[in-house]
Chain A
Amino acid sequence: MNRRLTHAWLVLAVAASLAAGCGGKKRPPAVSTAPPSSGEPAGSLPTEVPPAGEPGPDVRTLGAEAARGEDFTPSDAETGEGGPLADIHFEYDSPNLTDQARSVLEKHALWLQNHRGAKVLVEGHCDERGTVEYNLALGEKRARAARDYLASLGVASDRLRTTSYGKERPLDAGNNEAAWAANRRAHFAVSR
């Protein structure tokens, strides 16, 4: 709850009006209809204009966004690259650890023995082939495979968390084997 308040400004804002898009802070034309040749007052079509009131505590409007627009600083390292622990890589469409990945993880386990305060967020990543949803699930499996192996090497499980980015954060935006191989990875975001 606290967390939510602290991150108030992060939370989504609202398109000032979606009814009839006219960009930025402008409001769309409100549309009303009426029979042309009758004396009746204008009929009421739903005019999708949002209330002009202040945004809620954790919501900003599109207009306010233009005025501010802070950058997002995640509470956890989630850069997807860099850090003291090298990425491990996977075969296409596989969450299984390769021999090479195991030997890298063994070094990571050693490093973690020597850096007792360090905690690790294991991020699973995928190449661009396959759907968004499937890759998110596959990335999760990859992260868990890496985590489980680290845990089996004696790293306390409360120092290890997992998440998945699927194919949403490729290292290499290329559309070729080399790019795909680089993107099929588990990344280790370390916080101390």
Chain B
Amino acid sequence: MEQPASRSRASSSPRRSDVTLVAVVAALVLARDSRPAQAPPSPPPTIVITGGFDRFALPDCVPRKGDEASREVCRTVTQVLRADLQFENLFKFVPPSLISAIPAMDPEVPNFTDWKGIGASVLVVTRAQVTAGEATVELRVHSVETGQSMLAKRYSGRADNPRVFAHQASDDLMTLANYRGVARTKIAFVSDRDALPGRKTKEIYVMDYDGYNPRRVTVNRSLNILPNWSPDGRSLAYVSYRRGNPDIFVASIYEGKSTDLTGDKGGGAFAPSFSPDGKRVAYASSRAGNMDIWVANVDGSSPRRLTSTGALDTAPTWSPTGQEIAFTSDRSGTPQIYVMDTEGLNVRRLTTVGNWNDAPSWNPSKQFSEVAYTARLEGNVFDIAVVDIATRQVRQLTQGRGSCEYPSWAPSGRHLTFACGRGGKWQIAVADRLGQTITMLPAGPGKNEQPDWGP
């Protein structure tokens, strides 16, 4: 049911007490299931901590003595790991003031009595050292109660971006709790930051989920918009005007290839959306004379039109099962969200509140049967809303940030991203699925919009 998305860390939500940490001594093999496991596969000595009392202590990362480079890496690891885990909004933390009140820890042999004394139940120890530009970061997770090791990992790599070690550690901790972490996920977005003066060009970029490390993907100095990640995170579908007419391309970002999905067949093609199995792409096209929803294979073969009313149909998004597609249509007179099966049949209207509901994004987690979308709720301003598919109940996530639009879920379905702004000033935000904490990302210069949260 409800995920523990409560912002208040002092109160314990009912679901949070279900968070089960499966401790496997020095385990590297972690449960693959996304549900809290009752028992791990078959490892030797295991302990299971349950109950609502899990409190994480994250003391500062311990650098190698007298080494500035190690200290530098440690500072980043400490800061980023804390931010990552807080963003996940799953655990409670021992306040830093309490941690600084106990004697400095020997990372080899933590004094668990001290940690128990300040209310910690899980101790997360990180250490770092840098040798010749190569950083090694160690993560050890202990049960304070028993002193046993729950997880021990070592990460190594170049020292110039230590954030990646912290992201990896955060995701490993999430895996330990049988959740899918977001720390290493990427968000694709559109920006005009590299447009030459007087040229209204936009390119596709990719950044870390926390807004760091933006990288440009397209370099054609045309208009490139509406990016959509493939489920495996290796490709981006997007719309480009590089031939003068909007067409959909699929960029294999690690292989350095791009394919032309819709071809130069006239009419525009917009709003690509990968199916959950990554084999097909739904999109909107006016090729047949009217804006309709189409589905093609990922190589562009077998394009098929699913809608054929005279209305404007656009913005398709797949259900997690891949058996249904939600989309926007103005067939009722105003833009509303509809759902149909992948044959284009069994069309039914999903949104009933408000006279402008558009840009749906189906929560990819089967646990949450809901669709986020852009709604005009007051005046000319748009906000992000989420509709529960079963109850049709709507919750409004944003308010008073100018307009917010273009929602896109994280792969875990526990968070989402969207863009907020007005006029030429748009920035990208991330939020938990209940909208309790909304963070504007440090996305850099220019108008930054149309985020798509990928693996």
Contacts and interface: CB of A to CB of B under 8 A. Distances in A.
Interface of A: 3-4, 7, 10-16, 18-23, 26-38, 42-43, 45, 48, 50-51, 53, 55-56, 58-62, 65, 69-72, 74-76, 78, 80, 121, 128-134, 136-138, 140-141, 144, 161, 163-165, 168-169, 173-175, 179
A136 B244 contact: no
Given A13-B256, A21-B208, A164-B246, A175 B423 contact: yes
Nearest to B254: A50
A188 to B, nearest CB: 14
In which size bucket is the chain B interface? 35 or more
Nearest to B151: A35
B254 A136 contact: no
Interface centre among B152, B241, B251, B424 (most CB of A within 10 A): B241
A121 B246 CA distance: 13
Given A13-B217, A15-B216, A133-B270, A71 B246 contact: no
A97 B286 CA distance: 20
Nearest to A124: B268
A43 to B, nearest CB: 6
A43 B268 contact: no
A133 B258 contact: no
Nearest to B134: A29
Contacts of A144: 286
Interface stretch (B8-16, B42-50, B154-162, B393-401): B154-162
A72 B186 contact: no
A163 B268 contact: yes
Given A131-B374, A140-B268, A140-B286, A12 B258 contact: yes
Contact of B159 (A13, A29, A35, A173): A29
A22 B217 contact: no
Given A13-B217, A35-B28, A130-B356, A21 B258 contact: no
A173 B243 CA distance: 25
A128 to B, nearest CB: 7
A16 B213 CA distance: 12
A136 B454 CA distance: 23
B358 interface: yes
Contacts of B223: 165, 168-169
A12 B244 contact: no
B291 A137 contact: yes
Given A21-B207, A168-B202, A35 B226 contact: no
A29 B222 contact: no
A7 to B, nearest CB: 7
B153 A33 contact: yes
Given A12-B218, A14-B251, A168-B225, A7 B157 contact: no
A28 to B, nearest CB: 6
24 contacts: A14-B251, A23-B213, A31-B155, A33-B168, A36-B138, A51-B254, A61-B256, A71-B199, A72-B222, A72-B242, A129-B382, A129-B403, A130-B376, A131-B328, A131-B374, A131-B405, A133-B328, A134-B312, A136-B284, A137-B291, A161-B266, A164-B268, A165-B223, A169-B223
A18 B257 CA distance: 15
A137 B164 contact: no
A55 B219 CA distance: 13
Contacts of A78: 241, 244
A29 B26 contact: no
B268 A136 contact: yes
Given A131-B374, A137-B270, A12 B220 contact: yes
A51 B215 contact: no
Given A22-B160, A137-B291, 19 more contacts: A7-B243, A10-B242, A12-B258, A15-B206, A18-B206, A29-B156, A31-B155, A36-B152, A42-B156, A43-B28, A56-B255, A65-B219, A69-B219, A71-B199, A76-B244, A130-B335, A137-B270, A163-B268, A174-B423
